[in-house]
A and B are shown apart, each in its own frame.
Chain A
């Protein structure tokens, strides 16, 4: 049996003050960065026009820039190599198509043949609606995840801590995009939401083990129980995360321009997701329940042989009766 991680006994909860301090620092750094540096929102959100052209022969970038400036507009120029440039202008005033025409007129003055590879014109109303939809989707997912986790694990605290970790991951990703000045487009938003789904996945796996251990060892000290659960699932966490990271790294380096941003967001989010499950979710559950299961949770149950069998059986069907209070 090949094993990267042998049986571990790490006391993860011991460092929870460190985690909480780090969390606070991330929150502050993020807030500061969002406020001072802001985000490079793509024209899908701001409204504006992007024209990507490929010239038949090399064009001096300075000439290109001055031709564009001569139109009196403030456009951003980005080179993709292979004589390919993307010219974008974030504007909210003009009708769709006007700016594109103006950019093409400017390009015509260069006297070099070009082909338009891609254009994107977004009116201001569309951008605003996109932003609202993206925020709506994230808020709605967070809400339903709290509900679902609270329902499946019979404890609202677990649901809330899971979502705090999720929030942490989204915050870290936003921070990464703010710091690097990478453009946030619709695909990046999709990545944010994917991370939301994937990060909660880690949380669920550990919660699931805790749920099981609570029933198997009802007398166990809660802190020890959490540590045991994290350690028992650690090899799974590492293996899954590694495979996903491998895949993402390949996509990041080879996937091409569109997938690159997606992969970048996912890389940051996945690393943050693994960290936050271990360093935020479970320490929060521990702290909020004051180190023991005296919060009205319905898990307490003496470990008889019958119970253990029942747990296994119930898991087999994937459904557990919610009402276990009669015990």
Chain B
């Protein structure tokens, strides 16, 4: 064996070994029982470089959220608000305890949340849907204007217009510096229209049980900055009511008995789920603006199983048929092409594991297309070799010319298909993107296996002074 050929084979074996190394974690992981995988998942002990199954294959739900840009406060640039919103949603979902969630930005103002294994995302939706804007405001209900405003409010059928603003006849009764807010338990209150202390000043929040009425409540504590501000606010307003406002609704309005600096409680008739959710969102922080669910998909686990079964078995049969056909029609050359095809499959799976890519049904289709392109490359080469063979050339020349002449067609056709793949990657979302990723990886791999590897095999055969090759 010449040095050059030895290097070639060294490289091929190194890549094969590397692939086995990359694929092994998949095997190890998926051979574990489901329950164990789930536990490891929640502990965050899932290997990172592994092939993931898409929601269509394993079941789960996805939510597409839109940040309501018109409700963003003043001067925060959209991309910063989005980054913050994604971070906050991630914090909330993480504490909710779903494994392997993916939260990604889509377009300018959309956020895609994927929850594998969750077939009823209602709880997650509730967690995400809360803006969780916590504010502390001083209540000023004791003026005559306030009383007449409340009266009018009670008697007006629709006190707020579609945008949530007060109708003008009531708005003019509200004194400057104050604003009207709804009480959770019904009715309205007048509160100061600025909040100096907000949820951003919190350090922690957790659920506690109230000893007097048995309802759960949320206990919170401030960070240093928050404690200072809260001390000033409560110190200056002793004896007044302090409204604890969450998402523009007054949860409770206790009377300030003493100056408070460190911590406090939010009480109300919460269910324990509500209280737990509230503590999570308060701890994670407030969203820069409300989000709205604009797309929701759920796929039950059994459906995922069925589709993977039928999709995989069909793909397998298709593959076997192609392998047989090649071997029968092209004989030895066909078998060599088959080896390359199988290697193509192995390398593609290895690369996808390395990137931690997600395999979806369209992704499997993309793989099939790249396998078809790999077959085409070999058909091109073998047909060229046949042409040379008909001209009666010696074996080594048949092989060399076959590769040399077929290369430009293989190269150009793969590049054009990669161009299509790249356009898909650019524009596509979800399933289309999964398709594009596997297609591009598969095509790049097929350029290597269908040309480089098969040629190395022929060259190896030639070293034994072969005089004839069956095509």
Q: Which residues of A contact B (CB under 8 A)?
A: 1-2, 4, 52, 95-97, 100, 115-123, 125-126, 129-130, 133-134, 136-138, 140-141, 144-145, 148-149, 152, 186-187, 189-191, 193-194, 196-198, 200-201, 204-205, 207-209, 211-212, 232-233, 235-236, 239-240, 242-244, 246-248, 250-251, 253-259, 262, 312-313, 315-316, 318, 320
Is B415 an interface residue, CB under 8 A from the partner? yes
Contact between B427 and A250, CB atoms less than 8 A apart:
no
Contact between B302 and A117, CB atoms less than 8 A apart:
yes
A137 → chain B, closest Cβ, in Å?
Answer: 4
Nearest opposing residue in chain B for A232, CB measure: B387
**A259-B435 contact, Cβ under 8 Å, with A123-B294, A208-B409:** no
Contact between A133 and B429, CB atoms less than 8 A apart:
yes
Contact between B413 and A121, CB atoms less than 8 A apart:
no
Find B294's partner among A125, A232, A262 (CB 8 Å cutoff): A125
With A and B bound together, what is the CA distance between A247 and B374 in angstroms?
A: 14
With A and B bound together, what is the CA distance between A198 and B371 in angstroms?
A: 12
Find A126's partner among B294, B368, B421 (CB 8 Å cutoff): B294
**A137-B424 contact, Cβ under 8 Å, with A118-B303, A144-B419, A200-B413:** yes
Contact between B413 and A190, CB atoms less than 8 A apart:
no
Contact between A197 and B420, CB atoms less than 8 A apart:
yes
Is B430 an interface residue, CB under 8 A from the partner? yes
Chain B interface size, as a band, is 35 or more
Q: Which residues of B contact A258 (CB under 8 A)?
A: 56, 307, 311, 361
Q: Which residues of B contact A136 (CB under 8 A)?
A: 427
Contact between A198 and B303, CB atoms less than 8 A apart:
no
Contact between B409 and A205, CB atoms less than 8 A apart:
yes
Q: Interface residues of A: mostly helix, strand, loop or mixed?
A: helix
Q: Which residues of A contact B119 (CB under 8 A)?
A: 116
Find A120's partner among B297, B411, B439 (CB 8 Å cutoff): B297
Contact between A200 and B417, CB atoms less than 8 A apart:
yes
A29 → chain B, closest Cβ, in Å?
Answer: 26
With A and B bound together, what is the CA distance between A84 and B255 in angstroms?
A: 58
Find A239's partner among B311, B329, B331, B412 (CB 8 Å cutoff): B329
Find B295's partner among A126, A232, A315 (CB 8 Å cutoff): A126
Contact between B310 and A254, CB atoms less than 8 A apart:
yes
With A and B bound together, what is the CA distance between A100 and B63 in angstroms?
A: 14
With A and B bound together, what is the CA distance between A306 and B116 in angstroms?
A: 62
Q: Which residues of A contact B393 (CB under 8 A)?
A: none
**A259-B361 contact, Cβ under 8 Å, with A97-B296, A121-B295, A315-B404:** yes
Contact between B298 and A133, CB atoms less than 8 A apart:
no
Is B428 an interface residue, CB under 8 A from the partner? yes
Q: Which chain B residues (124-139) contact chain A, with CB distance < 8 Å? A: none
With A and B bound together, what is the CA distance between A96 and B426 in angstroms?
A: 27
Contact between A52 and B380, CB atoms less than 8 A apart:
no
With A and B bound together, what is the CA distance between A283 and B96 in angstroms?
A: 63
Is B354 an interface residue, CB under 8 A from the partner? no
Q: Which residues of B contact A232 (CB under 8 A)?
A: 387
A299 → chain B, closest Cβ, in Å?
Answer: 14
Q: Which residues of A contact B317 (CB under 8 A)?
A: 250, 254
19 pairs, A vs B, C-beta closer than 8 Å: A116-B298, A119-B298, A134-B427, A140-B423, A145-B420, A148-B415, A190-B431, A200-B417, A200-B420, A244-B375, A247-B319, A248-B318, A250-B318, A251-B365, A256-B310, A256-B314, A258-B56, A315-B408, A318-B411
Q: Which residues of B contact A (CB under 8 A)?
A: 56, 64, 66, 107, 119, 292-300, 302-303, 306-307, 309-311, 313-315, 317-319, 321-322, 325-326, 328-331, 361-362, 364-366, 368-369, 372-373, 375-376, 379-380, 383, 386-387, 389, 401, 403-405, 407-409, 411-413, 415-417, 419-421, 423-424, 426-432, 435, 439, 471
Q: Which residues of B contact A240 (CB under 8 A)?
A: 372, 375-376, 379
Find B435's partner among A119, A190, A205 (CB 8 Å cutoff): A190
With A and B bound together, what is the CA distance between A101 and B374 in angstroms?
A: 48
With A and B bound together, what is the CA distance between A96 and B407 in angstroms?
A: 52
Contact between A117 and B299, CB atoms less than 8 A apart:
yes
Q: Which residues of B contact A233 (CB under 8 A)?
A: 383
Q: Which residues of B contact A97 (CB under 8 A)?
A: 293, 296
Find B107's partner among A120, A123, A129 (CB 8 Å cutoff): A129
Q: Which residues of A contact B64 (CB under 8 A)?
A: 123, 126
Q: Which residues of A contact B294 (CB under 8 A)?
A: 96, 122-123, 125-126
With A and B bound together, what is the CA distance between A318 and B413 in angstroms?
A: 12
Contact between B299 and A208, CB atoms less than 8 A apart:
no
Contact between B314 and A236, CB atoms less than 8 A apart:
no
Contact between B315 and A123, CB atoms less than 8 A apart:
no
With A and B bound together, what is the CA distance between A191 and B321 in angstroms?
A: 22
Q: Which residues of A contact B439 (CB under 8 A)?
A: 194, 197
Contact between B416 and A149, CB atoms less than 8 A apart:
yes
Contact between A247 and B107, CB atoms less than 8 A apart:
no
Find A246's partner among B107, B318, B431 (CB 8 Å cutoff): B318
**A251-B368 contact, Cβ under 8 Å, with A197-B417, A315-B404:** yes
